[in-house]
Amino acid sequence: MKPVLAIGPLSKDILINKTQKIEKTGGALYYQSQIYQYLKTPYQIILSLKTEDKNLINNFPNPEKIHPIYKKETITFTNKYLTPEKRIQTSNFANTPITIEDIKPLTENINFSAIILNPLLKTDFNLNIYQYLNTLKTPIYLSIQGLLRTQSKNNQIKLEKNKDLNQILPYITGLFLDQFEAQTLYPNDPLDLIAYKLSKLGPLETIITQAHKGSLIHSKITNTTISVPAVKVQEENFPTGAGDTYMAAYISQRLNGYSINYSAEFASEITSKKIEWGKLI
C-alpha cells in the first residue's frame, strides 16, 4: 500500500474538565498519526506551526514522518468540557494558510494512496489548494470541522455554514463531519437526508459521526445509507480526537479494500478504545 498523506495545522490544546487541566499537542494530525502508527498504515504528514513550537513534533509517534512548514503562529485551542460531549471552545484564530508552494515539493515526488485534509480553521487552505490536489488524481478525504468554525465573542468558536463548500466538495472523495456540523449546514433536515444532500455536491462517501449513537454513511455510488452503532465505552477519558481517530481508522480500512460497513464498524471499535485508553500507543 502506498502511503497516505495527511495535511493540516498542528495545534496546541488546553483540555479542561471538572477535575483537571492538561496542556498538550493537539490537532487532527496528532490523533490520526497515532492510528496510522497503530494500524501500520504507511503515512507522511505535512503540518504547519511556528518555529518556536517545533519541539511539539517530538510528541508524534514517529517524528521522522513529519514535514513541518513554519509559519508566524501556531493555532491554539482551549476546550472546556461541561460534559463528555459538550464543550466550550476558544482559539487564537491564527491566520496561517498552507499554500500550494508549501506542499508541492512532497506531492510532486511521492505517489500517495490518498490525501487527507484536516483544516482546523477556514483560513487553513485556500480554494486553489483543492484544485491543485485534484490534478494529482488521488482520492481526497476531508474533515469539514475547520471549514465551519468562525470567531464569536471572547474568541469562542461557533459553527456557521461556509459559502465556499459548493466549490470545495466536488473535489472530495470522502467527507467527514459530526452531527452538530451536519445540522449547521442543514438545520431542519434529518441526518440521512443531510448525508444525501452533501453527496450530491461531490463526495462519493459522506460519513456523519454521532458520538455514542454511532455513525451514518451515505454512498453516492450505490445511493444507499447505512447506520453503524457505536461500540460501548467502558470508561471515558478525554474524548478530544475521537472524530479524528474514527476518520483515520475508517480511511485505512477502505484503502485496504474493506467494505463501507466493515470499515465503519472497525473505526467505531478503534474509537472506543481511544476514548477508554486516551491513546493507542
**What's the pLDDT tens digit per position in 210-263?**
988 999 999 999 999 999 998 888 776 667 788 999 999 999 999 999 999 999
Task: Judge contact between 215 and 226, C-beta under 8 A.
Answer: no
pLDDT single digits (tens) 46-63: 999 999 999 999 999 999
Domains and CATH numbers, the chain: 4-277 (3.40.1190.20)
Contacts of 168 (CB under 8 A, 6+ apart): 127, 130, 142, 147
C-alpha distances out from residue 100 to 115, 128, 197, Å? 14, 8, 30
Distance CA 4, CA 63 (A): 16
Predicted local distance difference test score (pLDDT) of residue 85: 67
Cβ pair 207, 215 in contact under 8 A: yes
Task: Give the chain's residues under pLDDT 50.
Answer: none
> How many CB atoms lie under 10 A from the CB of residue 177?
26
Of 13, 94, 5, 87, nearest to 48 (Cα)? 94
The pLDDT value recorded for residue 192 is 97
CB 5 within 8 A of CB 46: yes
Q: What was the pLDDT predicted at 141?
A: 98
- At residue 1, the pLDDT reads 86
Residues 139 and 174 sit within 8 Å (Cβ to Cβ): yes
Whole-structure pTM value = 0.93
Query: In this predicted structure, what is the pLDDT of residue 277?
Result: 79
Q: For residue 86, what pLDDT is reported?
A: 77
